[in-house]
């Protein structure tokens, strides 16, 4: 646990689902309605630093969070992502999985999804 880490010091009232080794919160800066984060309690930067048991709990919570979002908001789809390392855009060096609900019509052309992190390579279907 690190005192200056925003995910090591999450107030308990922000936690929507929890397990001893991980928890779920809504993103403080949501990309879409229901944007949620799944976070291990242990301060690790990368998914690959987690034990197999921790990874299983994170995936269990991902599914539980998705189910809760569906009951509440009925999205049409999801983007699921991890920014693993500064080159991948990670700004908080504590692993967190983004679960971003997507809604029909929220983007003029959602094709490519997470591929848009490198826009020049995203629309692979247009170059064939």
Catalytic residue among 78, 94, 96, 98: 96
Assess whether 98 carries a catalytic annotation.
no
Edge-to-edge strand ranges of the sheet holding 77-81: 15-19, 22-26, 36-40, 97-102, 77-81
> Active-site positions?
96
């Amino acid at each position: 646990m690190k005192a200056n880490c925003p995910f090591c010091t999450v107030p308990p009232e922000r936690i929507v689902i929890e397990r001893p080794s991980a928890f779920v919160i809504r993103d403080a800066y949501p990309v879409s309605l229901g944007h949620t984060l799944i976070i291990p309690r242990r301060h690790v930067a990368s998914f690959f630093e987690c034990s197999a048991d921790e990874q299983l709990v994170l995936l269990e919570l991902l599914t539980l969070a998705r189910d809760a979002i569906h009951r509440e908001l009925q999205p049409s789809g999801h983007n699921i992502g991890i920014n693993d390392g500064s080159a991948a855009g990670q700004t908080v060096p504590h692993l967190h999985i983004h679960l971003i609900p997507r809604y029909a019509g929220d983007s003029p052309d959602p094709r490519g999804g997470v591929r848009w992190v490198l826009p020049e390579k995203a629309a692979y279907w247009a170059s064939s």
